[in-house]
Amino acid sequence: MTDAEDRPDFLETADGRRIAYRRTPDAGAGAPGVVFLGGFRSDMTGTKAAFLEERCRARGRAFLRFDYTGHGQSSGRFEDGCIGDWLRDARDAIAALTEGPQVLVGSSMGGWIALLLAREAPERVAALIGIAAAPDFTLDGMEAAFDEAQRQEMARTGRVALPSEYSDEPYVITRRLIEDGRDHLVLRAPLPLPFPTRLLQGSADVDVPPERARILFDHAEGPDIRLLLVKGADHRFSGPRELRILDETLEEAIAAAREAGR
């Protein structure tokens, strides 16, 4: 692929956000489109997003991947963002760049965003696939793990820097991120998922432990929800075996969505 072909397009929003995206058009596959929702501080150039784009293009299926504000090539600063902001980016991108029900594929934080989208507009969801989905992680993962010194630092400065396994730069966690996260929880109230839902989880995931997948699985309500625990897979879920499982899961979920009339 040439540099020009790999250059993203941009969605300009009325309030000045500039969302970078790549879109593969529908080539008559007769199936719902696929939207990839990335994780916390990741971008649309990751292995899973690129893999799914290639598979959808090969099958003539519409596909969308994009960067949240403050991520990748989109406008804004990461430290200024929060779950509500990134949910708005996803909502706006899907509204402007897709038609009809979509298969939402959410990785880590993207799984939380997918669940929020599904809760507010289930008619736009044909099926949902969570890859190490991390709903409510700002409360259950970050805030719950703060030690006393970090709590005091947050109270004093409104921010805490946490080391990251995925970057040389620490994650800066802001008070706004934590407080906004509490306004977007999905595991504290009924969570109907009236469409095929597939949850993929690695047994060796230390960022989103397998028990979190089971909590989501037990909490969600729907006629067709399945959890697949993959022995030895880590949080990235992007090795050849995991990508094959993701591809098979996508095809199975689309077939189930068709059968369900979605």
Q: Cite the active site residues.
A: 108, 205, 235
Give the Cα separation of 216 and 228 in Å (integer).
13
Distance of CA 189 to the CA centre of its chain: 20
Asked if residue 106 lies in contact with residue 134, where contact means CB atoms within 8 angstroms, the answer is no
From residue 25, give the alpha-carbon distance in Å to each of 28, 65, 100. Answer: 9, 12, 13
* Tokens coding 111: 């799984």
From residue 151, give the alpha-carbon distance in Å to each of 48, 100, 145, 164. Answer: 35, 44, 10, 19
CA dihedral 23, 28, 32, 35 (to 10 degrees): -10
- Find, among 31, 84, 39, 27, the residue nearest to 65 by Cα: 39
Output the CA torsion sign for 253, 124, 16, 26.
positive
